Amino acid sequence: MKQIEERIKEIYEEVKQYSPYPEKVKVIAVSKYLTAQEMLPYLETGIITLGENRVQVIQEKYEELSTYPFAKSLEWHFIGNLQKNKVKYIADKVSMIHSVNKLSLAEEINKKMEALGKKMPVLIEVNVSGEESKEGYEVLEAEKDLPKLLNLKNISICGLMTMAPFTEDIEEQRRVFHKLRTLKEDWNEKYFQGSLTELSMGMSNDYKIALQEGATMIRLGRKIFY
Ligand SMILES: *Cc1c(COP(=O)(O)O)cnc(C)c1O
């Protein structure tokens, strides 16, 4: 196994190589494959931005890691499908929710954040590939909800997220990522006055293409942890 530090360094070299704006890119270390104990050697190398896709797992890991000196600097990003009735368990723990795919979910996050007196940074998850199986808003459906989403005072919509289809076809991946970037530019003009800054796209199998197409957050699991 390659040294962890070396692997992380390599990823940041690739960010410089592929991204048009490497200084804007954040690597989210998707730790869902590991237990809290297994995560320790990685956290000791200074990884602080973690992605998890299950509410219960975040709760457990958050608790288990809370006694370590680095716990306060950890940033948990929720990247999976989020059920409304579980928002309450993570509202005070995560620093961003990447997967807002329904108005009712956004409203629930807003409500919980209002109770905490805080604002949650969120991304709108868009199904740009059009695959039936994918989570995420259809573009038109999202546009219909945007006026209401923009009215929610305790969420801050800072960008868009998508998952590319599972395919080896690089041009298909590129098409999906390009479409998300174009949508961000379009929405920035029409609805957001430039306040959409983030594009969360790219996983271990397609992050280089996502970087070329302007990703600002890449979500890497297997690439970092295996
Ligand atoms: C698991 C997961 C990832 C990371 O996937 P890898 O292929 O391991 O890099 C990224 N995003 C989401 C939403 C995931 O569930």
- From the CB of 30, is ligand 1 less than 6 Å away? yes
Phi first, then psi, for residue 183 (nearest 5°) are -65, -40
pLDDT above 90: residue 135: no
Tell the residue nearest (CA) to atom 11 of ligand 1.
219
Alpha helices per DSSP H over 45-197? 55-65, 87-90, 103-116, 139-150, 170-187
Total tally of structural domains belonging to the chain? 1
Task: Look up the CATH number of the domain holding residue 151.
Answer: 3.20.20.10
pLDDT above 50: residue 159: yes
Please give the structure tokens belonging to residue 32.
Answer: 């869902």
- From the CB of 203, is ligand 1 less than 6 Å away? yes
Q: pTM here?
A: 0.96
Q: What is the pLDDT of residues 8-38, one digit of tens each?
A: 999 999 999 999 999 999 999 999 999 999 9
d(C-alpha 102, C-alpha 146), whole Å = 11
Q: Can you name the residues that pair with 48 across neighbouring β-strands?
A: none
- From the CB of 80, is ligand 1 less than 6 Å away? yes
d(C-alpha 192, C-alpha 180), whole Å = 15
Domain range for residue 57?
A: 1-224
d(C-alpha 194, C-alpha 188), whole Å = 5
Give residue 202 CA to ligand 1 midpoint distance, Å.
9
Give residue 43 CA to ligand 1 midpoint distance, Å.
18
Please give the structure tokens belonging to residue 49.
Answer: 């931005």
